[in-house]
Structure 1
Amino acid sequence: MPRPHGFAYEQRRDGSVVLTHQGRAAGVLRGGRAGKFLAEVEAGDAQLVMARWTGAYRFGNERRARNHPRNRTGRT
């Protein structure tokens, strides 16, 4: 599975955190969620944490899921 890359975050003065992916806004965290995110980034792999928080953590498994028998209904 490829490693996530291209994520960045900026902590603002009001305590919110803006997440970006390749220069585009990917999410804004406020309050307790921002604090929890910052704690996770400090403790682990920052790119992996940001990918998980933005929901962009699925790399390579989409094709496999599409071919699963449960997901084939209606296809020939």
Structure 2
Amino acid sequence: MKQAKNNRLSKEIFSYSVAKANKVFIYWHGKQIMILKGADSEKFLQRISNANELEAQLIMAKVTGNFKRGNER
């Protein structure tokens, strides 16, 4: 089961960008789903700076948590 989850994350479904004052925007399939500010963004940037692509996807998946509630299209 764990292998199936890793295969999904290898498709790079999450991405992020950094704006002024280290505000981090996280995207899922190109749609913005979360904004991190302050200590949360600093912690995220520190964790993701040394991660490979698969680890970065996993970090973003964990940070976003269960954001899907059934109304996304």
Q: 2:61 aligns with which of 48, 51, 56?
A: 51
- 1:16 to 2:46 alignment: no
- TM superposition score normalised by structure 1: 0.66
> Distance between the aligned counterparts of 1:42 and 1:48, measured in 2?
13
CA distance in 2, matches of 1:14, 1:20: 18
- Report the TM-score when normalising by structure 2: 0.68
Partners of 2:13 and 2:24 lie apart in 1 by 16
Higher helix share: 2
Equivalent residue letter for 1:2: K
Larger radius of gyration: 1
Give the RMSD, CA atoms, in angstroms.
Answer: 1.3
Q: How does 1:1-76 map to 2 (within 5 A)?
A: 1-3=4-6, 4=9, 5-44=12-51, 45-56=55-66
Structure 2: stretches of 5+ with no match in the other structure = 67-73
Aligned residues: 56
Runs of 4+ in 1 over 6 A off after TM superposition: none
- Identity, % of aligned pairs? 29
Query: What are the ranges of 5 or more consecutive residues in structure 1 without an aligned counterpart?
Result: 57-76
